[in-house]
Chain A
Amino acid sequence: MIKAKKSQVDSFDIIIVGAGIVGCAMAREFTLAGAKVLTLEKGEDILDGASKGNSAILHTGFDAPPNSVEHACIVDSYHEYLSIRKKLNLPLLKTTALVTAWTEKEENLLEGILEKANLNGIFDAKIINKKEVLAKETQLSPVVRAAIYVPREYVIDPWTAPNMYMLQAIKNGATLLRETEVKAGKYDGEKWLIETNKGIVKGTNIINCAGLYGDKLDEMLIGKKAFEIRPRKGQFIVYDKAASQLINAIILPVPNEITKGVVICRTIFGNVLVGPTAEEQKSRDDASVVHETLESLRLKGEELVPALKNIPITATFAGIRPATEYKDYCIKHYEENNYISVGGIRSTGLSAALGIAKRVFRDFQAYGSQYEPREDIIYPSMIPIAETEKRDWQNEGNEGIVCHCEWVTKREISEALTGDLPVKSLSGLKRRTRVTMGRCQGFYCSAHLNELTKGRFKKPLAKPIMKANK
Chain B
Amino acid sequence: MSHSLIKKKYDVAIVGGGPAGLSAAIELKLSGVNEVVVLERNSQAGGNPRHCGHSPFGMREFKRIYYGPKYAKKLVDEAIESGVKILLNTSVISFEKGGLLTLSTEQGVSQIQAKRVVLSTGIREKPRSARLISGQRPLGIMTAGALQSLVYLSDGKPFEKPVIIGSELVSFSAIATCRHANIKPVAMIEENSRPTAWSLLRLYPYIQGISFLKNTQLLEIHGKEVVTGVSILTDKGEKKHIDCDGVIFTGQFVPEASLVRMNHLMIDQYSNGPIVDQFNRCSDRDYFAIGNVLRPVETAGWCWQEGVDTAKSVLKSLDNSLEDIKQISISVQSPVIKYCVPQKISVQSRMKEIQLQLRFTEPAKGRIIIYTKNKELLSKQVNGLPERRILIFLSREITETMALAGENLFIRFQKEGDK
Instruction: Decide if B132 touches A316 in the complex (CB within 8 Å).
Output: yes
Instruction: Decide if A240 touches B156 in the complex (CB within 8 Å).
Output: no
In the bound complex, residues from chain B placing their C-beta under 8 Å from that of A303 are: none
Q: How close is B189's CB to chain A, nearest CB, in angstroms?
A: 15
Give the size category of B's interface with A. 35 or more
Report the nearest B residue to A290, measured CB to CB: B134
- A289-B135, A442-B127, A459-B139 known; A404 vs B158 contact (CB < 8 Å): no
Instruction: Decide if A466 touches B182 in the complex (CB within 8 Å).
Output: yes
Report the nearest A residue to B133, measured CB to CB: A291
- A315-B129, A447-B153 known; A459 vs B225 contact (CB < 8 Å): yes
In the bound complex, residues from chain A placing their C-beta under 8 Å from that of B182 are: 465-466, 468
State which residues 96-119 of B face A: CB under 8 Å.
Answer: 104-109
A455 interface residue (CB < 8 Å to B): no
Q: How close is A229's CB to chain B, nearest CB, in angstroms?
A: 18
Report the nearest B residue to A459, measured CB to CB: B139
Instruction: Decide if B156 touches A287 in the complex (CB within 8 Å).
Output: no
CA distance A451 to B129 in the complex (A): 24
State which residues 125-167 of B face A: CB under 8 Å.
Answer: 125, 127-130, 132-137, 139, 142-143, 145-147, 149-158
CA distance A450 to B153 in the complex (A): 10
A440 interface residue (CB < 8 Å to B): yes
In the bound complex, residues from chain A placing their C-beta under 8 Å from that of B106 are: 396-400
Instruction: Decide if A393 touches B91 in the complex (CB within 8 Å).
Output: yes
Instruction: Decide if A398 touches B108 in the complex (CB within 8 Å).
Output: yes
In the bound complex, residues from chain B placing their C-beta under 8 Å from that of A259 are: none
Instruction: Decide if B129 touches A450 in the complex (CB within 8 Å).
Output: no
A388 interface residue (CB < 8 Å to B): no
Instruction: Decide if B262 touches A443 in the complex (CB within 8 Å).
Output: no
A310 interface residue (CB < 8 Å to B): yes
CA distance A447 to B182 in the complex (A): 18
In the bound complex, residues from chain A placing their C-beta under 8 Å from that of B225 are: 459
Instruction: Decide if B154 touches A450 in the complex (CB within 8 Å).
Output: yes
Instruction: Decide if B93 touches A451 in the complex (CB within 8 Å).
Output: no
CA distance A444 to B109 in the complex (A): 22
Give the size category of A's interface with B. 35 or more
CA distance A400 to B42 in the complex (A): 9
Instruction: Decide if A446 touches B261 in the complex (CB within 8 Å).
Output: no
Instruction: Decide if B136 touches A287 in the complex (CB within 8 Å).
Output: yes
A129 interface residue (CB < 8 Å to B): no
Instruction: Decide if A442 touches B220 in the complex (CB within 8 Å).
Output: no
Instruction: Decide if B156 touches A465 in the complex (CB within 8 Å).
Output: yes
Instruction: Decide if A393 touches B146 in the complex (CB within 8 Å).
Output: no
Complex interface bits, A438-464 against B, C-beta within 8 A gives 1, otherwise 0: 011111101110110000000101111
- A459-B226, A465-B181 known; A313 vs B132 contact (CB < 8 Å): yes
Instruction: Decide if B151 touches A465 in the complex (CB within 8 Å).
Output: yes
- A289-B134, A447-B156 known; A396 vs B108 contact (CB < 8 Å): yes
B51 interface residue (CB < 8 Å to A): yes
B320 interface residue (CB < 8 Å to A): no
Instruction: Decide if A288 touches B136 in the complex (CB within 8 Å).
Output: yes
B4 interface residue (CB < 8 Å to A): no
The 3 closest A-B pairs by CB, nearest first: A462-B156, A441-B127, A447-B153
Selected A-B contacts with CB under 8 Å, 26 pairs: A242-B261, A288-B220, A289-B134, A311-B261, A393-B93, A393-B104, A394-B104, A397-B107, A400-B43, A400-B105, A404-B91, A440-B143, A441-B127, A442-B127, A442-B142, A443-B124, A444-B145, A447-B156, A461-B139, A461-B156, A462-B154, A462-B156, A462-B157, A463-B156, A464-B156, A465-B156
> Which residues from chain A sit less than 8 Å from chain B, CB to CB?
237-238, 240-242, 285-291, 294-295, 298, 310-317, 393-401, 404-405, 407, 426, 439-444, 446-448, 450-451, 459, 461-466, 468
Give 7 A-B pairs besides A313-B130, A444-B124 with Cβ atoms closer than 8 angstroms.
Answer: A240-B258, A289-B137, A394-B104, A439-B130, A440-B124, A443-B146, A463-B157
